[in-house]
Structure 1
Amino acid sequence: MPLFSVHTLGFPEIRRDDRLCPLPLRKGVALLVYLAEATGAVGREVLATMLWPEGREEVVRARLRRLLHRLQLTLGDDVLSIDRSTVRWSSAVSLQLDSQLFEQACDRSEFEWACRHYSGDFLEGFSPGDCPQFDEWAFFRREALRGRAIQALERVVHDRNAAGDYASAAAHAGRLVELDPLSEVYGRQLIRNLLLAGDRLTAQRHLAALTQRLRDELNVAPESATRALLDADASLPVEHPPSTRYVSGDGVHLAFQTYGAGRIDVLLVPGFVSHVERVWEEPLCRAFLSALTEMGRLILLDRRGIGLSDRVGFNPSVHATAQDIGTVLDAAGSRRVVLFGASEGGPACIKFAAEHSDRVAGLVLFGSLAKGSATPDYPHALQASQYDTWLRQLVAGWGGPAGIETFAPSLAGDPQARAWWAGLLRAASSPGAIKGVLEALRDMDVRPLLGRISVPTLVLHREGDRAVRIGAGRHLASHIAQARFVGLDGADHWVFAGDQQPVLDNIRQFVGNLNLPTATSIR
């Protein structure tokens, strides 16, 4: 049985028994890669339309027949299984696909192996030409694999640093910088590990390069935490974020952090994307999180499929995220908690509070909603068709600061905030994955749970919020027995953007009025 290796990480290659197959036809390479990724039969009409989108039906069918014939002449008659309606790789050959091997290694948490074998972005530098459908498919696949590569590199940097292997941590951090050169978080990881490895000269060179990139691309200077790295005590950076821990629940590894101490725990469940390490990179976000620690111990998590937590092969539901909340609370040793649900994080907090009131001291909902799309009895969200249009626009802008004008109009003109948001999106998810997450949120409805919430609840919503209408917040408050609604000035959907002080003052007052025992957690 011949072995065919399909190399897609980097410029594509097809090898038979380790010998390079000469395939001068770009559309032939595209077809073989697409079939390998599909892992099954693909309709001839699908292939013809994808490769010749503008041709007449009889013309593109003839072109596909000629292309398949030439591929069989080059590779052998036994390589492709072709019938009247479908095409697939033949079961008579052994097929090895590097992108699938990479993903399987990530699934097994073999992150170092995955990093070694991620030799480039998916189909890097390749296009069959005049095939927008194929190029769009390749873009989504590229971003998904790139996101997993970033996640794998982050895990290896963390593990190598914890093991004291600073040279290896620096090498992997260097690859992160190559993937996202404007990220100060990755730049600091590289410089810090170089310093810990004793290579101060290289660390100085990378700091200078990072400073130049930020000035040229964003017209900003590095943050004080970055500039301070080369001071005498640079091995411990200024404002060092909390360490990331992992817990396994329901077969999924969840990333979480705890920060600070106090009589109460505050668990923050963010919106549709999160990244427990990169949130500390944005100065306003870092200031907001630090202020929350003045009220108690802060717990952050990345729900399954997002950020540093395991990617999953399905769209995380409200039920799954509520399970993740319980798993992380158990791992953090928290008995009673104030749940803080921001935006799309609110529904999972609502579900957990409704079903586990014994563990919840209070519930804070900011810019949140009970239902993802509008119906005649719920006019506070976008119509499903409007939602889908917005989703397509968001996905189309992925890789850049997609949606920042809606989420944070006060920061939309800030080049550093735009670069941070774009980097967080790329690190937290991919266009294809986030499309599924947001489709699940579109179909979400936790209204039946609102009447079951028996804990004190604070609902905060900015009057001019462009992402979630204020009527959604009023609806929550009117259907939760012990809820208090506070409307705030401003149009920012992100809780840390705009004027933070009224948000913090209301949360501080709310937490202070809770009837808390002297000890609320086991630590």
Structure 2
Amino acid sequence: MVDQLTIEVLGELNVRQQGRLVPLPQSKKTRALLGYLAVIGRPQRRDHLCKMFWEVPDDPRASLRWSLHKLRPIVNAEGHERLHADHNSVHLSPQTISVDFKGMVSLPPADLDVLDTETLESLATTFRGEFLEGLCLPHCPNFEAWRLYHRDRALRLHAAILRALIRRLRDSPERMHVHSMVLDRLIEEIADADPPEQRKEPSTSAAGPVQFRRDTAYASLGLSAPGSGSNSHTSETDAPLPSAMSGKRSQDIRFCKTADQVTIAYAACGHGSPVVRAAHWMSHLQHDWESPVWRHWIDALSEKTMLVRYDERCNGLSDWVAEDLSFSAMIADLESVVDAAGLDRFTLLGVSQSCAVSVAYAVRHPERLSGLILYGGFVKGWRKRSDSHEVATHEAMTALIREGWGQNNPVFRHLFTAMFIPGASQVQMDWFDELQRISVSPGNAGRLHEAFGEIDVSDVLSQVTVPTLVLHARQDAVVPFQSGREFAAGIPGARFVDLDSANHILLAEEPAFRQFVREVRRFVAETAEVQVRVP
């Protein structure tokens, strides 16, 4: 029988032969290639691997050959051939290789509570750190999208295992020392839930960042942190959010499942009447939190309300693998978040393409809305508007997105950024470029852009019965000004506000943003007052 090689990816990449660590190459791409082949476990085309790990100006096939040359003596140890490569494809023999990640992802979450305590403890210790820790390749967006998806998947599974273990131990006084050890593990997981380059602390939290992370860990387990004096939160990932978030500049990030089993990340911050911002593409709940493009939006909207945001499927912290990117799926994501957050009645804010999603939701669920706000949106997508010049432009944009998204290409970056935020500073432009890299993969960005072109809610505008405020920037180059007027003209009683700006995303320093905030706050206050008067 061939001795199995053990490859560990739940932490730094390790290879063990008969329990002994095997030295690995210094090249990060070569190690990343090994981790990728081990987790995938099936033949991969050479041209696919070249595109995933090497840039076009290089000689990708020569680089791939060099990496395979470095990997062969590692995986083909003691005369056993495990790495197979022909002219077309490359693969590792799964029958002779043990990968820690595969044993974990095949474990149904429902089975955790029936496992014995020792097995749960063993599973918890299998996680040595982040998935393929240290193998971030910022210039390889396809690999990064794959790595981040599996990283988040592993983190959620680890947290579920630890929660199951704590539920088992917290009522056992004789094992309180184990309980404390496992709780500390979970606190570390929450603190490290994002890679170092994205991690942000609640800088103004009264308790400080360490206590904040500790309180968050206890709250997510349904426990009160010692000395915190706070009420516990429910431990379910899709449980209702509290009516207000404690502390300044802190957000509560949670996850829920849609009907087609896609995991959606959502967050709440602020105090007061709830406002839900329907998701738009290129969002990332954690990265947006401190960004110079979105932070002023978050702060202004959460100053007098409880703001709920979420990442659309295939974006940010939500699942990046989803077959359905249809308009119906976008509406279903919004419905899932609202239900998971436990909101009975709220104001719905649509931004860009999520304006159409918000209109569709308002027609389906008018009893849940106190008001509807639409900013920078369109009634019909670019393909449905039947403008041949516009269709040709967007088809070219789709091709550019698929080829240039997330790449270090200044031409593409300037084109895309100049459309969305022409008034941006260099810092804001650089951040917007980075957002492309980390929020959505090139393939998903192209699919979403195509899906937006098929949107059409023109037939249902007259069915909107809730109070509606429509705002649009006058020189918006992404969504024509006429599109905003179409919303206002088609929705009975809608009020329209013309904003003097060329930015699709209003910037903090411009008067148009201050006007936007004033109008939104007045509208939310007025509709909330009307709601109170209703018997």
Structure 2 length normalisation: TM-score?
A: 0.64
Match of 2:302 among 290, 293, 305: 290
SS state at 2:128 partner: helix
**Deviation by residue 1:77-132 (Cα, 9 ceiling, x = unmatched):** 5525667854433354244164x66777898999976863327536469x9xxxx9
What's the counterpart of residue 88 of structure 1?
A: 91
2:200 matched to 1:183? Answer: yes
SS state at 1:518 partner: helix
Give 1:348's aligned amino acid: V
SS state at 2:209 partner: helix
Match of 2:515 among 497, 502, 509: 502
Moved more, 345-354 or 300-309: 300-309
Is the Cα contact below 8 Å between 1:305 and 1:311 reproduced in 2?
A: yes
User: What is the count of residue pairs matched by the alignment?
Assistant: 463
Q: CA deviation at 1:346?
A: 1.9
**Aligned pair in 2 of structure 1 residues 368, 502: CA closer, same or farther (>3 Å)?**
same
| Counterpart mapping for 1:185-264 below 5 A | 185=202, 191-193=208-210, 239-241=248-250, 243-244=252-253, 247-250=256-259, 251=261, 252=263, 254-257=265-268, 259-262=270-273
Q: CA deviation at 1:340?
A: 0.8
Q: CA deviation at 1:322?
A: 1.8
**Aligned pair in 2 of structure 1 residues 370, 47: CA closer, same or farther (>3 Å)?**
same
| Counterpart mapping for 1:368-517 below 5 A | 368-374=377-383, 377-378=386-387, 382-390=393-401, 392-396=403-407, 406-413=419-426, 415=427, 429-431=439-441, 435=445, 438-439=448-449, 441-447=451-457, 449-451=459-461, 453-455=463-465, 456-495=467-506, 497=508, 498-499=510-511, 500-508=513-521, 510-511=523-524, 516-517=530-531
**Aligned pair in 2 of structure 1 residues 78, 69: CA closer, same or farther (>3 Å)?**
closer
**Aligned pair in 2 of structure 1 residues 55, 193: CA closer, same or farther (>3 Å)?**
closer
2:357 matched to 1:348? Answer: yes
**Partners in 1 of 2:40 and 2:399 — Cα distance?**
25
SS state at 2:406 partner: helix
| Counterpart mapping for 1:293-372 below 5 A | 293=305, 298-309=307-318, 312-314=321-323, 316-372=325-381
SS state at 1:285 partner: helix
What's the counterpart of residue 241 of structure 2?
A: none
**Partners in 1 of 2:289 and 2:282 — Cα distance?**
14
| Counterpart mapping for 1:51-62 below 5 A | none
SS state at 2:485 partner: helix
Q: CA deviation at 1:445?
A: 1.4
2:268 matched to 1:268? Answer: no
SS state at 1:395 partner: coil
Is the Cα contact below 8 Å between 2:142 and 2:441 reproduced in 1?
A: no
What's the counterpart of residue 117 of structure 1?
A: 129
**Partners in 1 of 2:488 and 2:47 — Cα distance?**
52
**Aligned pair in 2 of structure 1 residues 307, 8: CA closer, same or farther (>3 Å)?**
same
Q: CA deviation at 1:36?
A: 2.9
**Aligned pair in 2 of structure 1 residues 101, 422: CA closer, same or farther (>3 Å)?**
farther
**Aligned pair in 2 of structure 1 residues 17, 384: CA closer, same or farther (>3 Å)?**
farther
**Aligned pair in 2 of structure 1 residues 35, 394: CA closer, same or farther (>3 Å)?**
closer
**Partners in 2 of 1:392 and 1:177 — Cα distance?**
27
SS state at 2:347 partner: strand
Moved more, 310-319 or 497-506: 310-319
**Aligned pair in 2 of structure 1 residues 300, 48: CA closer, same or farther (>3 Å)?**
closer
Moved more, 488-497 or 9-18: 9-18
Give 1:268's aligned amino acid: R
What's the counterpart of residue 39 of structure 1?
A: 41
What's the counterpart of residue 224 of structure 2?
A: none
SS state at 2:91 partner: strand
Is the Cα contact below 8 Å between 1:270 and 1:342 reproduced in 2?
A: yes
Is the Cα contact below 8 Å between 1:292 and 1:298 reproduced in 2?
A: no
**Deviation by residue 1:192-224 (Cα, 9 ceiling, x = unmatched):** 325998xxxxxxxxxxxxxxxxxxxxxxxxxxx
Is the Cα contact below 8 Å between 1:170 and 1:191 reproduced in 2?
A: no
**Partners in 1 of 2:339 and 2:425 — Cα distance?**
38
**Deviation by residue 1:386-413 (Cα, 9 ceiling, x = unmatched):** 2432565442259xx9966654455524
**Aligned pair in 2 of structure 1 residues 73, 341: CA closer, same or farther (>3 Å)?**
closer
What's the counterpart of residue 4 of structure 1?
A: 5
Give 2:209's aligned amino acid: R
**Partners in 2 of 1:315 and 1:186 — Cα distance?**
38
SS state at 2:532 partner: coil
SS state at 1:493 partner: coil
Q: CA deviation at 1:67?
A: 9.2
Structure 1 length normalisation: TM-score?
A: 0.65
What's the counterpart of residue 234 of structure 2?
A: none
Percent identity between the two aligned chains: 22
| Counterpart mapping for 1:38-187 below 5 A | 38-43=40-45, 74=77, 76=79, 79-80=82-83, 86-90=89-93, 92-96=95-99, 98=101, 116-118=128-130, 121=133, 123=135, 137-144=142-149, 171-172=188-189, 175=192, 179-180=196-197, 183-185=200-202
Give 1:457's aligned amino acid: T
Structure 1 runs not aligned, ≥5 long: 198-235
**Partners in 2 of 1:299 and 1:23 — Cα distance?**
45
Q: CA deviation at 1:366?
A: 0.5
What's the counterpart of residue 212 of structure 1?
A: none
2:528 matched to 1:518? Answer: no
Is the Cα contact below 8 Å between 1:153 and 1:176 reproduced in 2?
A: no
**Aligned pair in 2 of structure 1 residues 347, 194: CA closer, same or farther (>3 Å)?**
same
**Partners in 2 of 1:169 and 1:256 — Cα distance?**
19
**Partners in 2 of 1:145 and 1:259 — Cα distance?**
31
**Partners in 2 of 1:270 and 1:391 — Cα distance?**
21
Q: CA deviation at 1:342?
A: 1.0
**Partners in 1 of 2:371 and 2:453 — Cα distance?**
26
**Partners in 1 of 2:248 and 2:60 — Cα distance?**
62
**Partners in 2 of 1:51 and 1:275 — Cα distance?**
24
**Aligned pair in 2 of structure 1 residues 136, 168: CA closer, same or farther (>3 Å)?**
closer
Give 1:518's aligned amino acid: V
**Partners in 1 of 2:517 and 2:453 — Cα distance?**
31
Give 2:425's aligned amino acid: A
Is the Cα contact below 8 Å between 1:459 and 1:485 reproduced in 2?
A: yes
**Deviation by residue 1:398-439 (Cα, 9 ceiling, x = unmatched):** 9xx9966654455524x5x6787688777x745458636634
Is the Cα contact below 8 Å between 1:185 and 1:278 reproduced in 2?
A: no
Give 2:498's aligned amino acid: G
Moved more, 376-385 or 71-80: 71-80
**Root mean square deviation, CA, Å:** 5.6
Q: CA deviation at 1:341?
A: 0.4
